[in-house]
Structure 1
Amino acid sequence: MSDPDPGRPGHFIGWADRLAAHLARLAGEAGHEFGYANLAVRGRLLADVTGPQLDAALALAPDLVSMVGGGNDILRPKADLDAIAQNLETAVLRIQATGAAVLLATPVDPADAPLIRHLRGRHAIHTANIFSIAQKHGCYVINQWGLHALRDWRLWAEDRIHMTSEGHRRVALSALSALGHSTDHTDWTTPLPPPPPVGRRAAAGANAAWARTHLAPWVQRRLRGESSGDAVTAKRPSLLPVEPPGTSPAD
């Protein structure tokens, strides 16, 4: 989301697609074939990620599975962080039993996020659980919590939930580095130059506009038991060759 694909109007790229492009290039240079599927659906809870999404992923007999989930769960009023961690660990073991490697990702530190910063403790516990699972079972981890540049709101879209293209680009390089490949760390870890100061009145106005436009509809969906991804399906359910970001996919 919020990473427009110039080659396909109305579609998005995202850090996973960008990572796949990097891996496809490296595989090609080594003389190997590379296929990539993206089964993620926005707004889904971890039960869907580790259930139907994981079932579909393992049916493809992958060598590497990136699994990012739990973020939507910990926003719920009665989130059970221990149960979330157990669900995630069980899924990791299921993936590894097939011989595939696992790439996990921590949440971003919400210290500077309006409203959500009050849930920083939950995000920190979820981050600690992810690192504990990864250490115990030998998973790769995208350390978004430690990527301080992501705490700059200029790397986030107007909804304050999804990253901009620059944010996705940085996370893709962070993921590539986490997988053990060489990257220019200064390129994706260096924060943007300091922004111009924003007065209290302007900040309050921006927060109010965001609450009306994005927070209120989110709350209404929660009350109705709905999700923004209810009518959304995976954009890339099959393993396909990877085209460079911004180009039309092969038929």
Structure 2
Amino acid sequence: MEYQRFVALGDSCTEGLDDLLPDGRYRGWADRVASALDGPGFRYANLGVRGRRLDQMLVEQVPNARALEPDLVVLFGGGNDVMSGATASQLAQRVDDIVRAVTSFAPTVAVFTLSDISHRMPFGWRMRPRIEALNTAVRDAASRYDAVLVDVEADECVHDSRYFGPDRLHLSSLGHRRLAGHLLSTLGIPFDPAWLTPLEGTAASASVLDHWRWLRDQVLPVAYTRTRNKLIGRQPGDGFTPKRPQLAPLRVAR
């Protein structure tokens, strides 16, 4: 099927964090998918905003997506809901609400499960039940509302640190490329098969010093910022705007 109006919804992963272009802009899986879909008449919008939960996307991004009248909507989200401690019932309700809303106006909707990154985080075992609950909700909603399911939970490459950025949470350029490959493969759209070819060799094991630097440079600053923002009533992502709020040809200067 040929798609002409592609809209991406989501959080920092949809925005493209840790997949930097030479000029400092973010690329990300959605831009990579758009490059595979690009052709005469093709237009693309990216409404992703870092830090956003599914319930926030429902009220902030979905109405804008509806107005764009897309023929393909792809949603990547739920990680911030998991990180913020949403319960299994909250996750199920949020997933159902947003998938039901998007499938009500878009002829093709694709949704992702999340890879289990809990082993990469301190006390990550506490997140694992919420990741499992989110993925169950995504699978159920995809079946219920006839959405395309991109099930990446079992991708073994999640254990390779080269697919992740410095914070061990956001995808690296390699990770975004792989995510785009999974989506395009599921949609039956041609792409570079190297995007899904596992990297040669193995990633170097992190030393105790590496773990300490990661804690100092990545974990503690984020924890401090989140705590400060919570005290002043600021939500993650406040002040940021979508990178491509309107449908436009892929190569139009932003």
What TM-score results when the alignment is normalised by the length of structure 1? Answer: 0.84
Residue matched to 2:207? 203
Give the deviation of 1:173 after TM superposition: 0.9
> AA paired with 1:204?
V
Residue matched to 1:20? 34
Residue matched to 2:160? 152
Give the deviation of 1:210 after TM superposition: 1.1
Preserved contact between residue 95 and residue 137 of structure 2 (Cα < 8 Å): no
Structure scoring higher RCO (CA < 8 A, sep ≥ 6) equals 1
> AA paired with 2:216?
R
Preserved contact between residue 88 and residue 130 of structure 2 (Cα < 8 Å): yes
Gaps of 5+ in 1: 244-248
The equivalences for 1:1-251 within 5 A come to 1-6=17-22, 9-24=23-38, 28=39, 33-77=41-85, 79-115=86-122, 117-118=124-125, 119-183=127-191, 187-196=195-204, 198=205, 203-224=207-228, 225=230, 226-243=234-251, 249-250=252-253
Identity among equivalent positions (%) equals: 33
> AA paired with 2:221?
P
Equivalents in 2 of 1:23, 1:215: separation in Å? Answer: 37
SS in 1 for 2:207: helix
> AA paired with 1:16?
A
Give the deviation of 1:207 after TM superposition: 1.4
Give the deviation of 1:182 after TM superposition: 4.3
Give the deviation of 1:192 after TM superposition: 3.8
**Count of aligned positions:** 233
SS in 1 for 2:76: coil
Gaps of 5+ in 2: 1-16
SS in 1 for 2:96: helix
Equivalents in 2 of 1:153, 1:184: separation in Å? Answer: 22
Equivalents in 1 of 2:61, 2:195: separation in Å? Answer: 33
Equivalents in 1 of 2:74, 2:190: separation in Å? Answer: 19
RMSD of the alignment, in Å?
Answer: 2.1
What TM-score results when the alignment is normalised by the length of structure 2? Answer: 0.83
Give the deviation of 1:116 after TM superposition: 5.7
Equivalents in 2 of 1:44, 1:130: separation in Å? Answer: 17
Preserved contact between residue 102 and residue 140 of structure 1 (Cα < 8 Å): yes
Preserved contact between residue 96 and residue 137 of structure 2 (Cα < 8 Å): no
Equivalents in 1 of 2:101, 2:121: separation in Å? Answer: 37
Equivalents in 2 of 1:194, 1:80: separation in Å? Answer: 36
Displaced runs of 4 or more, over 3 A: 182-187
> AA paired with 1:5?
L
Residue matched to 2:9? none
Preserved contact between residue 148 and residue 191 of structure 1 (Cα < 8 Å): no
Q: Given the superposition, is the C-alpha separation of residues 220 and 18 from structure 1 closer, same or farther in structure 2, using an over 3 Å criterion?
A: same
Give the deviation of 1:55 after TM superposition: 1.2
Give the deviation of 1:168 after TM superposition: 0.9
Preserved contact between residue 54 and residue 98 of structure 2 (Cα < 8 Å): no
Equivalents in 1 of 2:236, 2:101: separation in Å? Answer: 28
> AA paired with 1:123?
I
Deviations 1:112-158 (A, max 9, x none): 31326311222122112111111222111222212211321111111
Residue matched to 2:12? none
Equivalents in 2 of 1:161, 1:172: separation in Å? Answer: 17
Preserved contact between residue 104 and residue 140 of structure 1 (Cα < 8 Å): yes
Preserved contact between residue 36 and residue 191 of structure 2 (Cα < 8 Å): no
Deviations 1:82-118 (A, max 9, x none): 2222222122222222243211111111153132631
> AA paired with 2:210?
A
Equivalents in 2 of 1:116, 1:165: separation in Å? Answer: 26
